[in-house]
Amino acid sequence: MPTDKMLIKGCYIDGEILDILLSDGVISAVESDIQVDAATIIDANGLCAAPGLVDIHVHLRDPGFTHKEDMISGCLAAAAGGVTSIAAMPNTKPVTDCPEIIQYVLEKAKNTGVHVYPIAAVTKAQQGSELCGFEELRAAGAAAFSDDGRPVEKAAMMLAAMKAADKVGAPIISHCEDMSFAHGIINEGEASKKLGVAGIPNAAETVQAAREAALSLTSGLPVHIAHVSAAQTVAVIRDAKRRGAKITAETCPHYFSLDESLTLSRDADYRMNPPLRTKKDIEAVIDGLRDGTIDAIVTDHAPHTKEEKSDFEKAPNGVVGLETSLAAGITFLVRPGHLLLEELIEKMTIAPARILGINAGTLNVGAPADIVLFNPDESYILDPAKLHSKSYNTPFKGMTLYGVVKYTISSGKIIYKA
Ligand SMILES: [Zn+2]
Ligand SMILES: [Zn+2]
């Protein structure tokens, strides 16, 4: 049955004022002054329209850790952040390493309004010793493969996984961390020295990114590098791309905006893995975004409860991010002039959609009717208590952010309204 038409009037798209007509779950026209009978008309005067954001690195914590987040709360957070497509990491309990868990995720996500793409584990129980059944996982609906939360420690295992992923036509995402460095809790540098705690050196990330680059160059197979945080990792990826490696990379808002000095407060909401680095690393990540070394911006949304985050040294790593990614991008990349708004949107929509190989991330006629309407000039002070996520561990708390999501539309239906 055809769905009711929705007409969005007078929004900015790449500097032009246009109307968008949605019908039957797709974008059916993008023109100036569309005159048509529509069941829903949104006055978008003064708002920008962009494709619904695509976040290919999210921890929904469901199944197994639903005290932190579940499918429903995670998708509410996504909708509030303008995100209409998310890829869910497999480090759940049980781990997403069999078709049953893929089916569980797809089934539970069905009525959330958000498109949820399950990522399957690379190795059984993410233990690094036995490759998962890529074919059956792909057939069940796995959109990608990753052991995120952990690295694939052995290079030969990673190469076998790259081959298996390529065979089933799915991307493979590498959490780069050499586990021989895994005893630290924040960046190894001035802050760790001042606090007297063990640090995580840049090299922990970079050596494994270099390994993945070498594997990609040797095999000619693609690999995607998760959450790039360190200057020398950016350099390694830039070099690998120049030499023709099929390597893509993502970073997260906290790596282009916040540095290790925040951890001096001994507040675990500033702890994640990889950790906040230095101002120099931030500059390098921004350069990487500008020159295309870093293709996409994702959140690595990683909810943990207040209790879990209460002890600075023992707290688990991770921060929430779904509801602040667009604002962080506008505040720290667009307003200072590092990226144009269009470039930011590209890195949060079509670029990650391409990496995942999904039909999303454009406002072309015929594309899915997934749209975010936002005011890039409106600011707010981030109050964690107002987040829709079950958890409030945001490193942007108390900060002034620019960019307010007003409507999120997914498959032609309003799933969030401010
Ligand atoms: Zn990771
Ligand atoms: Zn992650």
Contact criterion met (CB below 8 Å) for 212 and 178: no
Assess if residue 244 is contained within a domain.
Answer: yes
Assess if residue 261 is contained within a domain.
Answer: yes
For residue 100, with 0-12 CB atoms within 10 Å meaning exposed, 13-18 middle and 19 or more buried, which class applies? exposed
**What positions carry a catalytic annotation?**
300
Lookup: tokens for 185: 């809790």
Assess if residue 248 is contained within a domain.
Answer: yes
Distance from Cα 209 to the centre of ligand 1, integer Å: 12
**pLDDT digit string, tens, across residues 302-316:** 999 999 999 999 999
Distance from Cα 150 to the centre of ligand 1, integer Å: 6
Distance from Cα 130 to the centre of ligand 2, integer Å: 21
**Can you give the residue range of the structural domain that contains 197?**
52-362+377-402
Distance from Cα 41 to the centre of ligand 2, integer Å: 38
Distance from Cα 302 to the centre of ligand 1, integer Å: 10
Contact criterion met (CB below 8 Å) for 298 and 252: yes
Backbone angles phi, psi at 343, to 5 degrees: -70, -40
Distance CA 371, CA 84 (A): 8
Distance CA 252, CA 286 (A): 11
Q: Which residue positions in the chain have pLDDT lower than 70?
A: 1-3
CATH number at residue 218: 3.20.20.140
Q: What element of type H or E holds 58?
A: strand 53-58
Starting from the CA of residue 90, give the closest ligand: 2
Residues facing 54 on adjacent strands: 85
Assess if residue 367 is contained within a domain.
Answer: no
What is the identity of the amino acid at 322?
L
Closest CA relative to residue 251, chosen from 315, 328, 303: 328
Starting from the CA of residue 228, give the closest ligand: 1
pTM for the full model?
0.98
**Per-residue pLDDT, 1:** 47
Total domains in the fold of the chain? 1
For residue 203, with 0-12 CB atoms within 10 Å meaning exposed, 13-18 middle and 19 or more buried, which class applies? middle
Distance from Cα 48 to the centre of ligand 2, integer Å: 29
Distance from Cα 376 to the centre of ligand 1, integer Å: 29
3-state secondary structure of 160: helix
**Per-residue pLDDT, 4:** 84
**Per-residue pLDDT, 2:** 52
Assess if residue 239 is contained within a domain.
Answer: yes
**Per-residue pLDDT, 340:** 98
Distance from Cα 120 to the centre of ligand 1, integer Å: 14
Starting from the CA of residue 274, give the closest ligand: 1
Distance from Cα 318 to the centre of ligand 1, integer Å: 9
**Got the DSSP string for 85-139?**
EEEE-S-SSS-S-SHHHHHHHHHHHTTSSSEEEEEEPSBGGG-SSSB--HHHHHH
What is the identity of the amino acid at 161?
A
For residue 124, with 0-12 CB atoms within 10 Å meaning exposed, 13-18 middle and 19 or more buried, which class applies? middle
**Per-residue pLDDT, 3:** 62
Residues facing 8 on adjacent strands: 20, 42
Lookup: tokens for 72: 């429903």
Starting from the CA of residue 152, give the closest ligand: 1
**Rg for the chain (alpha carbons), in Å?**
20
Distance from Cα 60 to the centre of ligand 1, integer Å: 13
Distance CA 45, CA 215 (A): 50
Distance CA 247, CA 225 (A): 7
For residue 80, with 0-12 CB atoms within 10 Å meaning exposed, 13-18 middle and 19 or more buried, which class applies? buried
Please enumerate in sequence order all residues whose Cβ is within 8 A of that of 276, keeping only pairs 6 or more positions apart, or say none.
186, 187, 229, 254, 255, 258, 259, 260, 262, 263, 270, 395
User: At CA 326, angle to CA 320 and CA 331, rounded to 5?
Assistant: 105
Lookup: tokens for 304: 């943990």
Starting from the CA of residue 303, give the closest ligand: 2
Q: What is the largest CA-CA distance in the chain?
A: 66
Starting from the CA of residue 56, give the closest ligand: 2
